[in-house]
Structure 1
Amino acid sequence: MAQPTYSFPDYWGESDLDVLPDDGHRYEIVDGSLLMTPPPSQGHQSIGGNLFIALRLAMPRGFRGLYEVGVRVPGGNFIPDIVVLKPGAPRVAVWSESCDVALVVEMASRSTRVTDRTLKAAKCAEAMIPSYWRVDEDGTVTIHTDPDGFEYTRSQVVRPGERLRVDAPFPVDLDPASLVD
């Protein structure tokens, strides 16, 4: 049986994503390079689902929480685990503009840990996304806020057993232990 052949560009752009297979992998672009991550584990999905529900329950009218939607950032296209859009953000966009995003959340896993801590946080800060959260496999939540265009200027780490309390983009109060089944 013949195998399909692919022609890969030297520099990846958003339109190149349309020709990639719908195979369960997440394809993202950073500065012309293609990033591919495997489908998430059950633990990853469980933590993400629990946090998504907590955020939806805390979310004021007008904000919209979405799971695995596209966001444009300078030099790239990301598909974060959770995105909270600001009131008034377009509802039909395939790729949301970063100016419409209030919060990006990434669930770190073995395959994404380094990228989530460094590259994605830096690109979200450059995009001036007000809040970037990273949730580790044990439920620890690292909250980055106040982007200055190059990096987030404030960070807070909240571990299971402690209370996570934030006011932005809207008030959220939870124990990260509740995220882990």
Structure 2
Amino acid sequence: MGYVETIEPGTFTPADLDDLPDDGMRYELVDGTLLVAPAPLPIHQTAAFELGVQLRLHCPKDLKVFMAPTDFQPTARRSLQPDVLVCRRADVGPKAIQRSLLLAAEVLSPATRSKDLLFKRGLYEEAGVQSYWIVDPDRVELTVLELVAGRYVQRAKVRGKDTFTADLPFTVQIVPADLID
């Protein structure tokens, strides 16, 4: 009936994503398997937007901040859409970013919590994303992971009105409570 049913599971490619409907759902691709998530809740969008704004205000000219849906395609069989990402301007392609990101940030929601904490963490780590930030709006918390010798290590966990001062991908201060208001 729909487009998704016409492709054998496990055989999706980034080119197939171009033909999917613009229906408010979020489509990602991992090793030929299509992942579909519902449209995010308002608190999720508020936190993602506020984080994107803070990053954009401090972003150096040679870098670029994007918000979902922006495709990061680390391999020919993967297409991910972090809620917020930072990359080098030179790495922005006509349809997607294919070189490793400097930052991928995900805002947790009931529909994506375990996927973001476990699955996407592993995918970003494997793709060499330098820094992975996880925003938990329910706990008003920011967890910062950074790549060290190919593995993520926790650099910081801040809550509420506490301030995190980032060095990667550039210097910026983030207060979790400010992302939720």
The question of 1:39 aligning with 2:39 is answered yes
| Contact map agreement 2:71 2:95 (CA 8 A) in 1 | yes
Aligned to 2:120: 120
Cα distance, 1:19 vs structure 2: 2.5
The runs of 5 or more residues in structure 1 that have no matched partner are none
Deviations 1:106-154 (A, max 9, x none): 11100000000011111111111101111112331111102544x3134
CA distance in 1, matches of 2:51, 2:18: 30
Identity of aligned residues (%): 32
Contact 2:103 2:129 in 1 (8 A): yes
2:115 and 2:108 map into 1 onto residues whose CA distance is: 9
Segments ≥4 residues shifted beyond 4 Å: none
* Residue of structure 2 in register with 1:178 after alignment: 178
Contact 2:91 2:99 in 1 (8 A): no
Partner secondary structure for residue 133 of structure 1:
strand
CA distance in 2 between counterparts of 1:114 and 1:43 reads 18
Name the count of aligned residue pairs.
Answer: 176
Aligned runs of 1:124-163 on 2, under 5 Å? 124-138=124-138, 139-149=140-150, 151-163=151-163
What corresponds to 1:98 in structure 2?
99
1:131 to 1:179, Cα distance in 2 relative to 1, 3 A: same
Q: Contact between 1:64 and 1:84, CA under 8 Å: does it hold in 2?
A: yes
AA partner of residue 37 (structure 2): T
2-structure distance, mates of 1:154, 1:108: 17
Cα distance 1:129–1:147, how it changes in 2: closer, same or farther (>3 A)?
A: farther
- Residues 159, 176 of structure 1: 8 Å contact kept: yes
TM-score by length of 1: 0.89
**Which position in structure 2 is the counterpart of 1:79?**
81
Counterpart residue identity of residue 110, structure 1: P
Structure 2, gaps ≥5 residues long: none
Q: CA RMSD in A?
A: 1.7
Q: Deviations over 1:59-102 (max 9, x none)?
A: 12221111110001344110111111124223x43120133x21
Aligned partners of 1:170, 1:143: CA distance in 2, in Å?
13
